[in-house]
Amino acid sequence: MSDSSSTEMLTAILRTEIAALEPGDRLPSSRELIARHGVGPVTVSRAIALLAAEGMVVTRPGSGTYVAARRRPGPDEGPPDTSWQTVALAGRAFDPGGAANGPLEELPPGTIPLSGGYLHESLQPTRELSSALARAARRPDAWHRAPVSGLTPLCALFARQAGNDVSPEDVLVTGGGQGALSMLFRALAAPGSPVLVESPTYPGALAAARAAGLRPVAVPMDSDGIRPDLLADAFAMTGARLLYCQPTFHNPTGTVLAPDRRRQVVDVARAAGAFLIEDDFARHLGHGGTPVPRPLVADDRQGTVVHLTSLTKPASPSLRIGALIARGPVMQRLRGMRQVDDFFTARPLQEAAVELLSTPAWDRHLRALATALRARSTALATALAQELPDWTLTRHPAGGLHLWLRLPAHLTDTAVADAARLHGVSVDAGHRYFPTDPPASHLRLGFAAAADPADLTEAAHRLATATHILPRA
């Protein structure tokens, strides 16, 4: 059991016990709690700290931990009244869209996660990250202010990853990918403007675009990626000056934009006088055996492509380090927005990223990750074919963290998602990935967040059990 789950379990037990005590009653000592619950001293310390932060207990050094006085509302106090905020927020609409029910939601104990988009802890380079952070913290300037654009060695590493003649001066280090995406939408288009997106697409991009006041416009995909002919039509009809796309291991379908289309898509955007946001989140998530195509930005010298990448997917959700690559006046705008938003990305994390990416351990991690992801993808696809043969796997992806499945006509994605949750499996309903009405019901099933590959087979069995009792639509 992980430290975090042990802490959560002990905290829940203590909350129940505190509810039966009176204010001023003394809790068992740390030694007693360790012996009674079979946990370590760190777990007890963390649980007590959480309860103290919640105001449930008070600690008295040298004396012990006691139940805190319970605040009771006075005779004239009613429930809090926040109705005034409805008026204050009028005209400031915010639609979280795809952010709802996303990868940050808490799941009930025992649930097998096929939702979300991060690696399980067992797939993360935890030891390497800890070592990198420790080495970074020992640097004399580790806590100095970082440059707005990012540390030069880190910018150079991201530039080298992009390839061709991308230089460190073209790089802006960011605090992960999602915040950078939000900044791009605000920087590249005015509120009320259209933004072209693949259909389906990443819900977080739809949420960020709508939060920036933009109107997502769907451009259909096929098995080779976004269609250049329909993209040109969409630019002509909408007057859009911005395209968001994921050319490599697209989320949710896993599609890789075909070689002959990669140049076409950039040319269509350039002819429209538009920017192309290339979300390259999955560059390090290939499953091995097939070379990952180089990013679109590597072959773009005119500044059409604005490239976005991040280390959170292949490393850890808490390594909030990403990068934007852009050429021309737009980079000056992005640097200016960075100074308005948050000045710079935390230097210790940047230093740790440099340490991590500069060692052979990073390449070893990526090779091991590719093998593990390929095995997990195959295991889940095989289990689904056996348990649910009428579900259609749209492709067996060569990279990424998900499978994209089309459901039979008699099932809806929301009904399946709700039934799955009741049977201990979390899945992502497909309608969230479409900017307009979806053409059919789909599910996105992740294979990287489960604790053990064997859980994927069990998850497929639970899904079959859940859906077999659903009424036909």
- In tens, the pLDDT along 352-391 reads 999 999 999 999 999 999 999 999 999 999 999 999 999 9
Instruction: Indicate whether 371 and 427 sit together in one domain.
Output: yes
Q: Chain-wide mean pLDDT for the chain?
A: 91
| Mean pLDDT computed over 160-172 | 91
Instruction: Indicate whether 134 and 188 sit together in one domain.
Output: yes
Q: 314-344: per-residue pLDDT in tens?
A: 999 999 999 999 999 999 999 998 888 888 8
pLDDT of amino acid 467: 92
Instruction: Indicate whether 116 and 36 sit together in one domain.
Output: no
- Gap between the Cα atoms of 418 and 403, Å rounded: 19
Long-range contacts, stretch 149-156, CB < 8 angstroms, 24+ apart: 149/173, 149/335, 150/323, 150/344, 150/345, 150/350, 151/347, 151/350, 151/351, 151/354, 153/354, 153/358, 154/321, 154/323, 154/350, 154/353, 154/354, 154/357, 155/323
| Mean pLDDT computed over 50-70 | 88
Q: Among 33-47, 87-101, 228-242, which range has the highest average pLDDT?
A: 228-242
From 307, 327, 359, give the residue that closes a domain.
359
- Segments forming the whole domain that contains residue 58: 3-67
| Mean pLDDT computed over 279-291 | 93
Instruction: Indicate whether 297 and 150 sit together in one domain.
Output: yes
Instruction: Indicate whether 198 and 305 sit together in one domain.
Output: yes
* Total count of domains within the chain: 3
Answer whether 298's CB lies under 8 Å from 164's CB: yes
From 325, 359, 393, give the residue that closes a domain.
359
Instruction: Indicate whether 429 and 329 sit together in one domain.
Output: no
- The β-bridge relationship of strands 305-310 and 275-279 is parallel
Which of 111, 2, 94, 14 shows the shortest CA–CA distance to 56? 14
Dig out the tokens for 280 from the structure. Answer: 């390259």
Q: How far is CA 14 from the centre of its chain?
A: 32
Instruction: Indicate whether 131 and 278 sit together in one domain.
Output: yes
Instruction: Indicate whether 161 and 275 sit together in one domain.
Output: yes
Q: Which one-letter amino acid corresponds to residue 312?
A: T
- Count Cβ atoms below 10 Å from residue 444 Cβ, excluding itself: 26
Instruction: Indicate whether 259 and 394 sit together in one domain.
Output: no
Q: 9-47: per-residue pLDDT in tens?
A: 899 999 999 988 989 999 999 999 999 998 888 899 999
The answer as to whether 86 is a domain residue is: no
Instruction: Indicate whether 182 and 143 sit together in one domain.
Output: yes
Tell me the pLDDT band of 4, cut-offs 50, 70 and 90.
Answer: low
Q: 407-449: per-residue pLDDT in tens?
A: 999 999 999 999 999 999 999 999 999 999 899 999 999 999 9
pLDDT of amino acid 101: 43
CA atoms in the 13 A half-sphere facing the CB of 298: 12
| Mean pLDDT computed over 86-97 | 67
Residue 403 — φ and ψ, nearest 5°?
A: -110, 145
From 327, 359, 391, give the residue that closes a domain.
359
- The β-bridge relationship of strands 402-406 and 392-393 is antiparallel
Q: What is the 3-state secondary structure (H, E, C) of the chain?
A: CCHHHHHHHHHHHHHHHHHCCCCCCECCCHHHHHHHHCCCHHHHHHHHHHHHHCCCEEEECCCEEEECCCCCCCCCCCCCCCCHHHHHCCCCCCCCHHHCCCCCCCCCCCCEECCCCCCCHHHCCHHHHHHHHHHHHCCCCCCCCCCCCCCHHHHHHHHHHHCCCCCHHHEEEECCCHHHHHHHHHHHCCCCCEEEEEECCCHHHHHHHHHCCCEEEEEEEECCEECHHHHHHHHHHHCCCEEEECCCCCCCCCCCCCHHHHHHHHHHHHHCCCEEEEECCCCCCECCCCCCCCCHHHHCCCCCEEEEEECCCCCCCCCCCEEEECCCHHHHHHHHHHHHHCCCCCHHHHHHHHHHHCCHHHHHHHHHHHHHHHHHHHHHHHHHHHHCCCCEECCCCCECCEEEEECCCCCCHHHHHHHHHHCCEECEEHHHHCCCCCCCCEEEEECCCCCCHHHHHHHHHHHHHHHHCCCCC
CATH number at residue 230: 3.40.640.10
pLDDT of amino acid 107: 81
- In angstroms, how far is the first alpha carbon of the chain from the final one? 41
Res 313 pLDDT > 80: yes
Q: Which of 47-61, 124-138, 210-224, 253-267 has the lowest mean pLDDT?
A: 47-61
> Distance of CA 53 to CAs 19, 49, 389, Å?
16, 6, 50
| Mean pLDDT computed over 193-218 | 95
The answer as to whether 27 is a domain residue is: yes
Instruction: Indicate whether 334 and 371 sit together in one domain.
Output: no
Q: Which of 26-35, 64-73, 294-303, 321-330 has the lowest mean pLDDT?
A: 64-73
Instruction: Indicate whether 20 and 146 sit together in one domain.
Output: no
- Count Cβ atoms below 10 Å from residue 338 Cβ, excluding itself: 23
CATH number at residue 399: 3.90.1150.10
